[in-house]
Structure 1
Amino acid sequence: MALIGEALISASVQVLCDKITSALFVDLFWHKKLDKPLLMKLNTTLLTLNVVLDDAEDKQIVNPAVRKWLDELKHAVFDAADLLDEIDTEALRRKLEGEDQTHKLTNKVWNFLPSSRNHFYQSMNVKIQELLQRLESFVQQKSALGLREGAGRQVSQRTPTTSLVLEPCVYGRDEVKEKLSKVLLSDNASKDDVSFLTIVGMGGVGKTTLARMLYNDDNVKGHFTLKAWACVSDYNDCIKITKTLLEAVTSKPCNTENLNLLQEDLREQLRGRKFLFVLDDLWNENNQDLNYVRVLFITLGTRGSKVIITTRNKNIASVMQNVPIQYLEPLSPEDCWLLLSKHAFGNEKCSAHPNLERIGKQIALKCRGLPLAAQTLGGLLRCNIDSEEWNRILNSSIWELQFETSDIIPALALSYHYLPAQLKLCFVYCSIFPKDYEFEKEYTIQLWMAEGLIPQVENANKMEEMAQNYFDELSSRSLLQKSNKSGFTMHDLINDLAMFMSRGFCLRLEERESLKVERVRHLSYARGELDVAPKFKPLYGAKSLRTFLPTSLDPY
């Protein structure tokens, strides 16, 4: 998988372009009197838009105009896919009926065919022309929106982390802190001289906070002769990571790009010293780079040296670890409320405002154990005793909050941005599953395959294997989680993230407030004891449905 993924609709655009330029499709146009130059122009227009999609997806969260442009473009691309599918389907139907013979009809004979048979392809030319004009309008708007071709992926929207303890209070982490402290203070934690402690969890669950607590513990401080903290979330190669480590050790800027010189300098700094390093927010999935960093530390460190690594990706952790991985779970509802109330009331006792305490505990439940969400929402309510404002926060989606005042939005969105486009398609499709819905792996990947979200290959077994790999990848990135049973679920806020990114084309029928079905493509509904026509009346206007899924049935 790529370190940083493309925009969601890039996968759809690539599929369209591959189909348009395929020999079978070009042959179809040649023999059916479809306008081939028009088709090639459509391909060029799609490619022109594709080069600015990464920039648009980065900017959409903070720029409503870009968000609207991207949303409308998604529908245009999906309509293009529907149009090409319609042509494919008609060609296959006529072939099965015997209309496509080994010896193709000449143009002269074609003109004598009944007009009803020829009319379909004539109408396709008109539809392709209309679609092309629609897409060209997006090309004209991209400059006005400041969208740049080949713009760098600025996925990290947060301030780089530091070792400074910023949290005024931490709840619910005493047990795991004590467990990891014992590992840090042991010189025989692993068979290697250097031990790697990996902390894995979803965005906002408190991995960095836990690493800070360990790094600044008084007992830990006295155990190591050298300590250094490096935030490596933006670095995707071993040169940048090595340079960051060296600068963290020397507290001086480093200007060389020579990997060998960097290694030698770092070797001299670490020689004979028992060190503690923190590599915070590691995203680089390249096994070669990860193994390089691992071997570098092992060869440089003295017995008892430690490296703490925080990551959202358990695949990264599995490469680096030589002691058991520490999976960080969400806080309990009680600890979440304690954290939220501390940020909301400061040193004042929340019991002085019983009406706010009642609302606040419901808000804490919405955080579903994420400390960053509790801290963010508590900060928004700080010193505010207006119950109407507290109810507004309670009843609103977290994605309706102001981007500038909510750390949780970029923290969660970062996990999405790092996904390759094909994985994004599969992830946002899961937004049709209701919150707390438990789904089974095989059931889900069959849906993905049926909806064309998995790249087409001739071997069905290979295609299913690819879909399974996609599912495992989403799980390894903490976007899908094992349930208490044998299935999987999505954390509520991750579900919100998927809904935000899939708005307009994925929908749950129960979301009445935003029920606009005209262009919805994937829809689910909670099946009740009595499903009658009035329940589905809002769907009468749906023109593009590809999924109609009951979700209250047992998927097993």
Structure 2
Amino acid sequence: MHIPPPFHSNHFFCSLFFQLEDGTAVYSFMPAIARWKLRKRIEKLENTVTNVENSPYLTQTSSGAWNDIVNMNRRSITSSSTRKVFGRDRERDMIRSMLREDDSLPSSSSRKCYSVICIYGIPGSGKTTLAQYVCEYEKEDKDRYFDTVMLIYVSKTYRLEDIFRDMLEEITQSRHSEISDCRGLEAKLVENLRGKRFLLVLDDLWVNDENHEKLLSPLNVGKSGSRILVTAQSKEAALGSNRLIPISDLEEEQYFSMFMHYALDSTIFDDREYIPIGRKIAKKLNRSPIAAVTVAGQLWRNPDIRFWQTTANLDVLNKTKGALWWSYNQLVVDVRRCFQYCSIFPRRYELERDNLVRMWIAQEFVKDNDGNNEDVEDVGQSL
């Protein structure tokens, strides 16, 4: 039997050849443009899967459920609520005042143009939120004090090249992909920082890293009065600074307001039943911001008052790890697999939604469990 080539000579239609299990040949015709789009989509999916399979992070072991859940929670919570910061205004204003303090000393050739301030505390206590809050106000200040503000996520394992690219992107809005080596990126960074008063936020910095000196080396070309704001789990990561700020607990009412902001669906107009139950749940969480947002997210997804009542009686919520583990177990099995898959990427890795959904689909994690014949890509986008 003669099998025609995949593409018909006609510019508007192409033939598709299928062979059934019994050997029957079946031909189908579709517009050439649709076939072209399908082929490009498949190629893009194959390239994405290949990149993941070749990733060195696939061979790394996970740091455990606790760190995975903490890291994943740094993304915006999926809810109808808008981002809002609770109870950090006083600390924000204090840090902004410290950033402007005159710490000048007699001039010296070895004198650094910057000083360091460190916010430290346990994971999930609100350090990153506070640092972002400070940055937002500095960027929006009409009497702008700093010429440039850079918010950089560091984490325990980082590549110097990536950090330099992130810094350049914050300054110039470009990744400078044409520069292939770390030395070239450092030179470009020096060029763009020279003579400027900068605020550099190094979020999630860790101790005992030999790259810290290399990381800071291009910064001393800045203008006197520049600042580095560090967030870290330990004050030992303060880069030698004695200006240390322990992250404080939120006031009880501020904490409850934050919890209910993320827990209560905006479509519920009569919240009188929910408030006392929500207060009982919030008290169990020991004022942990990450526990509040994570548990509240599950309550938002299930507004049934009986679910809230059952949750309020759970002893597992009394510890932060228990609260996070409970929230994780509320996810359906398929969603948990998608969640686990994300742990192969390094901390703070920026994932594009469409690419991530295609990778989930390639691993057969996304399914139409409701039998609605919904496109799996649409299902993945809703997770």
Q: Which residue of 2 aligns with 1:186?
A: 101
Extract unaligned runs of 5+ from structure 2.
Answer: 1-57, 106-110, 317-322, 348-383
Alignment partner for residue 87 of structure 2, among 172, 181, 201?
A: 172
Contact 2:256 2:282 in 1 (8 A): yes
Distance 1:367 1:156, change over 3 A: closer
- Amino acid corresponding to residue 62 of structure 2 in structure 1: D
1:58 counterpart residue number: 62
Q: Which has the higher contact order (CA 8 A, sep 6+)?
A: 2
- Equivalent of residue 151 in structure 2, options 202, 220, 229: 229
Look up the equivalent residue of 1:402 and give its one-letter code.
Y
Structure 1 residues 346, 386: closer, same or farther in 2, change over 3 A? closer
2:289 paired residue number: 371
How far apart are 1:262 and its partner, in Å? Answer: 2.0
Equivalent residue in structure 2 for 1:288, among 196, 210, 218: 210
**CA separation in 1, counterparts of 2:63 and 2:210?**
32
1: CA distance, partners of 2:70 / 2:288: 19
Number of aligned positions between the proteins: 260
Asked if 1:303 is matched to 2:217, the reply is no
Aligned: 1:358 with 2:276: yes
Q: Which has the higher helix share?
A: 1
Matching of residue 267 in structure 1 with residue 190 in structure 2: yes
2:261 aligns with: 342
Q: CA deviation at 1:205?
A: 1.0
Output the CA distance in 2 between the equivalents of 1:330 and 1:196. Answer: 23
Whether the 8 Å CA contact 1:229–1:279 is kept in 2: the answer is yes
- Check conservation: 1:195, 1:307, Cα contact below 8 A: yes
Which residue is equivalent to 1:244?
Answer: 166
| Structure 2 residue 137 is matched with structure 1 residue 209 | no
Partner deviation per Cα, 1:22-43 (whole Å, 9 max, x = no partner)? xxxxxxxxxxxxxxxxxxxxxx
- The code of the aligned residue for 1:330 comes to D
User: Taking structure 2 as the reference length, what is the TM-score of the superposition?
Assistant: 0.57
Q: Which amino acid aligns with 2:327?
A: L
Quote how far apart the aligned CAs of 1:375 are: 1.9
Q: Post-superposition shift, 1:175?
A: 1.7
The CA deviation at 1:189 is 7.5
- Contact 2:193/2:221 (8 A) holds in 1: yes
For structure 1, the residue ranges without an aligned partner over 5 or more in a row are 1-53, 63-152, 419-556
Q: Secondary structure of the residue that 2:72 maps to in structure 1?
A: coil
Q: How far apart are residue 347 of structure 1 and its match?
A: 5.6
Matches within 5 A, 1:39-58: 58=62
2:157 & 2:200 partners in 1: Cα distance?
16
What secondary structure sits across from 2:230 in the alignment?
strand
The whole-number CA distance in structure 2 between the counterparts of 1:328 and 1:349 is 33
In structure 1, what is the Cα distance between the partners aligned to 2:156 and 2:330? 21
Contact 1:214 1:220 in 2 (8 A): no
1:170 shift after superposition: 2.0
Following superposition, the deviation at residue 257 of structure 1 comes to: 5.1
Tell me by how many angstroms 1:337 deviates. 0.9
Summarize deviations over 1:354-396 as a string: whole Å, max 9, x none.
4422221121112211222212222222285533211232334
Contact 1:235–1:241 (Cα < 8 Å) also in 2 = no
Counterparts of 1:57 and 1:390, CA distance in 2 = 36
Pair 1:60–1:185, CA change in 2 (3 A): closer
**Distance in 1 separating the partners of 2:233 and 2:198:** 24
In 1, Cα distance between the equivalents of 2:68 and 2:307? 33
1:288 alignment partner AA: E
**Residue 400 of structure 1: which of 305, 311, 326 is its match?**
326
Select the residue among 225, 236, 242 that pairs with 1:315: 236
Using the alignment, how far apart are the partners of 2:143 and 2:152 within structure 1?
17
CA distance change for structure 1 residues 184 and 347 in 2, over 3 Å: closer, same or farther?
farther
Partner amino acid for 2:255?
Answer: C
8 Å CA contact 1:181, 1:220 repeated in 2: no
**CA deviation after TM superposition for structure 1 residue 237, in Å:** 4.4
CA offset digits 1:374-423 (Å, max 9, x no partner)? 1222222228553321123233432132368699xx9xxx9xx99xxxxx
- When residues 326 and 304 of structure 1 are mapped into structure 2, their CA distance, relative to the original with a 3 A threshold, is same
1:428 match = none
Percent of counterpart pairs with the same letter?
A: 24
Q: Would you say the 8 A contact 1:193–1:305 is kept in 2?
A: yes
| CA gap 1:231/1:354 in 2 versus in 1, 3 angstroms | same
Matches of 2:170 and 2:73 in 1, distance apart? Answer: 17
Letter in 2 for 1:335: Q
Question: Is 1:387–2:301 an aligned residue pair?
Answer: no
CA RMSD of aligned residues (A): 3.9
AA paired with 2:228? V
Deviating above 6 A after TM superposition, structure 1's stretches of 4 or more consecutive aligned residues are 153-156, 159-162
TM-score (norm 1): 0.41
